[in-house]
Structure 1
Amino acid sequence: MKLAAELAHYPAARPLNADQVVEYHAARLLLLLHVCGSKGQIHGLTKLAKLDFFVRYPAFFERAAKELDMSLVAGTPVNDSAMVRHHYGPWDPRYYQVLAYLEGRELITVEKEKSAFVFALTNAGVAAAKQLAAAAAYSDIVLHMKNVKAAFGSKSGDWLKKLVYSVFDDEVAKLSRGQVIR
């Protein structure tokens, strides 16, 4: 992945997509904490990854909501990067780099609480997330995130993991670790 500042030296003829840019993923995670979190916090990497999964895969979100008899409709599909099957379900190997990027810029804090990490927006992170949320370019994803929060924001990471494995047996649970979720 590249930082936006490094792109000045990127060859003009070489293809580049947003998926390769750290700030693209950082913006989504800031919004996830702001919109789907509780007071700008998400408890646990598993919960963060599963909420992100439902944001990035709107059709899977709609199926899971129907499975639970919720009448929430999926948002506009986001042209986002795919996740892979990992130990605890959907995962993005870039999380560590992107979360460190956000923490290094003092937009989030990461603290250990018992056996889980707590990801929380700082004051600067809240300001940045509010600015992103107000931008027209993010209106669709913010609306979809509000639905994801309404459905699953109060659930634990473990509960969400079990939901993903039970509802998406063929699409996620039966995949080998590292396989891309389609």
Structure 2
Amino acid sequence: MKSLSRLGTQPASLPLAADDILEFHAARLLLLVKICGTAGRIDGLTKMAKLDFFTRYPDFFDVARAAVSKTDAPDAAAVGADRAVEASMVRHHYGPWDKRYYHVLAHLEAKQLITVIKDKKSYQISLTALGRESTQRLAERPSFEPLIARLKTVKSVFGAKSGTYLKDLIYRLFDAEVGKREMGRVIQK
């Protein structure tokens, strides 16, 4: 993964994918903690990863939302929106996971945008004052409007659920796509 600050020496002719950029993932996770968290905090890496999964995979989110809310109505914010998976995740022990999480969380903590505190067997990921200020600036940018709309919808459906509930739901609903997928393999749409 590359940081935008280190790309100045790279030839402009080389292709650059958003998925390869550290700041792309950092911005999404900051907004996820702000919008999907409670008072700017998410309790548990599992919950963070599963909320991120539903944000990144809108088609899986629609199926899961219909299963828990007994509705087939598509997300109003997603109608006509780009439904592509921007950044794929892999099958891990506890369901969808991104091996870059530890790198991105360490980056955000080093930049003093979040704190990560171990509480028994779980980690609490919280925005700092600087993190709240930064997410406010991100939220004011038009380019983040579709992501923010998706995050708000994900929160409205799954924000109050635990990470274990979300993991179990994903395994129940997406056994072929996630549960039976080989460890470390990319989850396909």
Normalised to the residue count of structure 1, the TM-score between the two structures is 0.96
1:30 aligned onto 2:30: yes
SS in 1 for 2:69: coil
Q: Give the conservation status (yes or no) of the 8 Å contact 1:70–1:151.
A: no
Q: Structure 1: which amino acid aligns with 2:42? A: I
Aligned pairs for 1:1-182 (under 5 A) are 1-71=1-71, 73-74=74-75, 75=78, 76=81, 77=83, 79-182=85-188
Tell whether the 8 Å contact from 2:57 to 2:85 is kept in structure 1 after alignment. Answer: no
Counterpart of 2:11, as a letter, is P
What are the Cα deviations for residues 71-103 of structure 1, in whole angstroms up to 9, with x where unaligned?
Answer: 463433255110000000000000000000000
Residue type at the aligned position of 1:123: A
- How far off is 1:69 after superposition? 2.5
Does the CA contact (< 8 Å) of 2:95 and 2:171 recur in 1?
yes
**Consecutive unaligned residues in structure 2, runs of 5 or more:** none
Q: Encode CA deviations 1:19-72: one digit per residue, 9 max, x unaligned.
A: 111001000000000110111100000000000000000110000011112546
Q: In the alignment, residue 117 of structure 1 is paired with which amino acid?
A: Y
Q: Which moved more, 1:69-78 or 1:109-118?
A: 69-78
Give the C-alpha shift of residue 15 in structure 1: 1.0
2:137 counterpart letter in structure 1? Q
What is the rounded CA distance, in whole Å, between the counterparts of 1:134 and 1:89 in structure 2? 32
- Name the CA distance, whole Å, in 2 between partners of 1:78 and 1:28: 16
Contact map agreement 2:44 2:125 (CA 8 A) in 1: yes
Structure 1 segments, 4+ long, off by >2 Å, are 69-79
Identity %: 48
Aligned length: 182
TM-score (norm 2): 0.93
- Tell me which amino acid in the other structure corresponds to 1:29: L
CA distance in 2, matches of 1:79, 1:159: 23
RMSD between aligned residues = 1.2
CA–CA distance in 2 between the matches of 1:42 and 1:69? Answer: 23
Question: What is the one-letter code of the residue matched to 1:152?
Answer: F
